[in-house]
Structure formats: structure tokens, C-alpha cells
Structure 1
């Protein structure tokens, strides 16, 4: 039971190819609507496991260095794969995907380096980073679903949110780089 949070993280990683794979199934297996719905549901389940694994690790007091490493890797793989798929489906502009994925790579590398120089607290997750994550985790399922729902233009709302996520991505990257600037200047 103490490995449940890490098992959920591994499950999230295993769900990534399923989100992408449904779009490669023949229409005779899944209609385009069902492909959109299935990908949206799988991504949403994966996003929920992201929240749940952290909650359970803290609640059960079974946090680990491996879990702390694996969780953000799973998040970045999940978001990156979904964004690449959305670009391929012409539901997300490539520059938006590049901004979000590029920021994730940059900040991951910055955090790793800051940890090596003993200053990891200065680039700990911030409120703006959490807002960015929330915006993209709502936008991506909407863009995967891409159909109107109860009269709401889900694709349009998803487009607005992914642009907001990109803006928050730039803002949060600037925030983290500014926080790391004293260490960067020293080295």
C-alpha cells in the first residue's frame, strides 16, 4: 500500500500512449467523436491521478525521493504528448506547444542545477506555476474533446485557456529565472 502513490504515477505514464493511440484507430473502431471523448476521458483520469498520487503520498506519509523525481517527469510527458497530439490534430498552434514544452524543459533543468548548488528552495513551485498547470490541465481535455457540450463551445474555451496557459507559462518562467538570478550570477 505504501507504493500506491508511485503506482498511480506509473499508471499516468502508461496512459499517455492510450491518449495518443485512440486517434490512430480506424473510424470503424471509434468514430471521430468517440476518439475525442475517449482521449479526453483518459487524459482527465491521468490528470486526476496527478493530484491523487501527491495527496496520498502526503496523507499516508510515504513521500520518497523517487516519487518526487517521477511525478514531475510523468506530468511533463503527459502534457508534452498531449500538446504534440493537439498540434498534429490542428487544435493547438505549434508555438503555444513550444512555449509550454520549452518552459518545462528549461525549468526542470534550472531546478536540477539549483538543487546541485544547494538553492532549490528559491525555485520551489510557486502560485503562478500552479495557475499555469491548472489552466493547461483544463485546456488540454477541452481541446481533446473538441465538441460542443450543452451548447458550450468547448473547443473555443480550450483555445482561450491554452493561450492563457502559455501566457502564464512565460510569466512563471520569468518568475523562476528571476528567483534563480542571484545563483546564476554567482556561477
Structure 2
């Protein structure tokens, strides 16, 4: 594993996950529920920013690596899954929507791994629809974590709508990746 700044940022994102979840298990005299929401929102946003920044930095500094390419999406999926499970537990996200998003992430990760083994990884490279899904997710989750208003905006309502949009895009992108992989599945699935 190359120790460089992009990989360290990715590891930091993974280390933030227990801290992020733990915020909601602190006694109320340490952090009130509104403070828990604010701290968790800030941690999630920091993780999302490091996700963008570590990839940019790796390319800029010429520090891309196979390990970094593996670890980065794992860190993303762990953080998103932790946030979704937490939001369901808090009653701020629908369990079926969270299940759809998490199940798709697992299924497509497995598909990508299998496609790499058969030498067809390019067929399931990240698509525009996948990027839209990620954007909807990464915007909705902090809104649901904040669980309040921002001026006239009801962030809980807007976050719920965006998470529903993310679920639709999740299914759409999964169908797209399966369609792209179908020739290899048909050949190697016999």
C-alpha cells in the first residue's frame, strides 16, 4: 500500500465512520440532539469533500495506485451505507429506499469485480447516470442528517425527495450496468 496523501485521506474517511455514527450515541449532556445533527452533518460533508479531493489530488500529484482505486470506492460505500442505516434508525429515511441503494452498491461492486476478472472492466466503468445518482445521494444525506430548516428550506423534505430520486437513479444505473455487462454474463455465465 503506497503511503501518500490521497490514500491517507481515504483512510481518514474510513476512520471517520465510527466517529460519525458514535455522535448519535453520546449522552445528551455531551451533545444535544440538534448538536448531534450538526456534528454528524459536518463529518459527512468533510468525508464527501475528502472523497472528491483525494481523487483530484492523486491525479494532480501523479499518485494514483491500484490500492487507492480499490480503497476509495470502498470508503465511499461504507460511509453512505453507515449514513443510510443511521437515517433509517432515526426515522429520517425509508428502509426500502436505503435497502435499494445499499443493495445496488453491493451488487454493482461485485459485478465490477467479476468483470475485472474476465478482463472486461471497461464495460462497467462509471457512467453519467451513476454520477447523477451519487450527486443526489451526497446532497440528500447531509440534508437528512441536519434534520431541520435552513431559512425557508425544509431540508428534511427536500432531502427525502432527493433520496427518492437517488433510489430511482440507483435502479436505472444498475439496469444500465447490467445491460453493459450482459454480453460477458452471457458468455461466461454458461
1:111/1:123 contact within 8 Å kept: yes
1:54 match: secondary structure = helix
Alignment partner, residue 94 of structure 2: 93
Structure 2 unmatched ranges of 5 or more: none
1:2/1:62 contact within 8 Å kept: no
The CA deviation at 1:150 is: 1.1
2:153 match: secondary structure = coil
2:91 match: secondary structure = coil
The CA deviation at 1:2 is: 6.7
Q: Distance in 2 between matches of 1:19 and 1:62?
A: 28
Normalised to the residue count of structure 2, the TM-score between the two structures is 0.97
Alignment partner, residue 18 of structure 2: 17
Aligned residues: 187
Normalised to the residue count of structure 1, the TM-score between the two structures is 0.98
Q: Distance in 2 between matches of 1:186 and 1:32?
A: 54
Structure 1 unmatched ranges of 5 or more: none
Alignment partner, residue 177 of structure 2: 176
The CA deviation at 1:24 is: 0.6
Q: Deviations over 1:47-92 (max 9, x none)?
A: 0000000000001111000000000000000000000000100101
The CA deviation at 1:151 is: 1.9
